[in-house]
Amino acid sequence: MGNLWEYILVFLLAGVPWIEVAAAIPIAIIRGLQPIPVIVLGFAGNLLTTLLVIFLFEPIKNFLFKKRGEPEDGGKREARAKRIWNKYGLPGLALLGPILIGIHIAAFIGLTLGAAKNWTILWMTISLLIWSIVFGAAAYYGVEVFKILF
């Protein structure tokens, strides 16, 4: 069943970039925590930090550009995000972001490329909800299949 601290840890880990719901939810379910609370807490933790990135976009952007100068040519993740943006727009960036570049980077790049904050919030929320359920269901049913087979 797990104790309260393990569920709090799911919430916190889901909000950490590069861990996010893609790792926090499956690890917690494999660990034996209840899937529904894990999915809800993972979603909430990741959404909270994503909203922070969106609402603090201007100060973060100003800090990064002041530190590094104006962006010339970003890394591989940024290039991948721009290709997704050019082909699918904000919905594509939001839906593919969590598995390809991370939701925080996807939100930041979307805003950098001109997306409105309210549309970014909407699409990032939809994306996180979908991926939280997908990762949760895959982990839960994967564990169940593993138990049956072995």
pLDDT tens digits, one per residue of 137-148: 999 999 989 889
Enumerate residues 6+ apart whose C-beta is below 8 A from 32.
1, 2
Q: Average of pLDDT values for 13-29?
A: 95
Would you state the pLDDT for residue 74? Answer: 65
> Is the pLDDT assigned to residue 2 strictly greater than 90?
no
> Is the pLDDT assigned to residue 71 strictly greater than 60?
no
What b/e readout covers 93-111, taking b as 16+ CB neighbours within 10 angstroms?
bbbbbbeebbbbbbbbbbb
Least confident of 36-45, 107-116, 130-139: 107-116
Residues spanned by the domain of 105: 4-149
Enumerate residues 6+ apart whose C-beta is below 8 A from 80.
100, 101
CA neighbor of 117 nearest in space, from 42, 61, 51, 37 = 51
Q: Which pTM does this prediction carry?
A: 0.86
* Mean pLDDT over the full length of the chain: 91
Count structural domains, the chain: 1
Q: How far is CA 85 from CA 71, 79, 108, 112, 113, in A?
A: 17, 10, 12, 11, 8
